[in-house]
Amino acid sequence: MNQPAILVAPTADTAEAVVAEHCIAAIAAHPRIVLGLATGRTMVGVYDKIVAGCARASLSLAGVTTFNLDEYCGLPEGHPASFRAYMRRHLIDRTDIDPARSHVPIGIDGAGYERLIAMAGGIDLQLLGIGRNGHIGFNEPGSAITSRTRIVTLAPTTLEDNRDAFDGCAPREAMTMGIATILGAREIVLLATGPAKAEALADAFGGPVRAGNPASALQRHPRVTVVCDADAAARLDPALRQIAATP
Ligand code: F6R
């Protein structure tokens, strides 16, 4: 079991900056890096800061390959709440990243997505958010630690959290990388901000690995960094917290 470094930044903005700077440094060191990407409200500020930081440093993303964690099933191409549209809005259309190297798990079966990841050489750096029920990707509580990319049914709390984006008729299924797929990444950075994430975060890293909190599986990975703001850190055991060096 590994206890990940849990870096606490004073605000969501500084926590996002810590994650963005980590990604920018990784891209600068390895321009052909393979990134695993998350969507959601937490990541919007991270992508804003990656876009701004890369522009400032004249850093090209043309060699980068990306694999998104998940996508809703059944949404028409171009639906504004789809994760494809999210990635175009927040990253792809704002950088020189090659859309042909930016993958989202849709229009392909789970085994095919796993093959694409393997053919790219595996994921070097995986970004994660966390659901208030502890989900990572859309691996809801009960997901097996051995799970791979597949179609899942979304939990009621997830449907509730995402309802606003869909005018009341949110998709009930999604394709998601599995927990084993996520653990296959060489490095993982999880970002959690806001008080709604405090309980899931404390439970993921303050207790044993258990299917009831999918993020707890990250204790099985040797290279995980958790970055959070003070609100999300509120229920963490103080012994687990480290102060983030803010950029
Ligand atoms: C999204 C994803 C999810 C989100 C999580 C948190 O691609 O994989 O696990 O990271 O639901 O979402 P927000 O950031 O909206 O609270």
Going from the Cα of 134 to the center of ligand 1, the distance in angstroms, rounded, reads 10
Q: In b/e form, how buried is each residue of 45-56, taking b as 16+ CB within 10 angstroms?
A: bbbebbbebbee
Separation CA 78–CA 81 (nearest Å): 8
Q: What is the pLDDT of residues 104-150, one digit of tens each?
A: 999 999 999 999 999 999 999 999 999 999 999 999 999 999 999 99
Higher pLDDT, 163 or 34: 34
Nearest residue by C-alpha to atom 3 in ligand 1:
137
225 vs 167: which has the higher pLDDT:
225
Q: Whose CA is nearest to atom 12 of ligand 1?
A: 40
Res 4 pLDDT > 80:
yes
Beta bridge partners of 242: 7
The whole-number pLDDT of residue 73 equals: 96
Q: Which atom of ligand 1 is nearest to the CA of 194?
A: 16
Q: Is the CB of 41 under 6 A from ligand 1?
A: yes
Residue carrying structure tokens 């983030």: 244
Q: Which tens digit of pLDDT belongs to each residue from 23-72?
A: 999 999 999 999 999 999 999 999 999 999 999 999 999 999 999 999 99
> Per residue in 142-168, is it b (16+ CB within 10 Å) or e — as a string?
ebebebbbbebebbeebeebbeeeeee
pLDDT at 1 over 70: no
Q: In angstroms, what is the span from residue 190 Cα to ligand 1's centroid?
A: 10
Mean pLDDT over 71-85 rounds to 94
Residue 211, amino acid? A
Q: Are strands 173-176 and 70-72 parallel, antiparallel or unpaired?
A: antiparallel
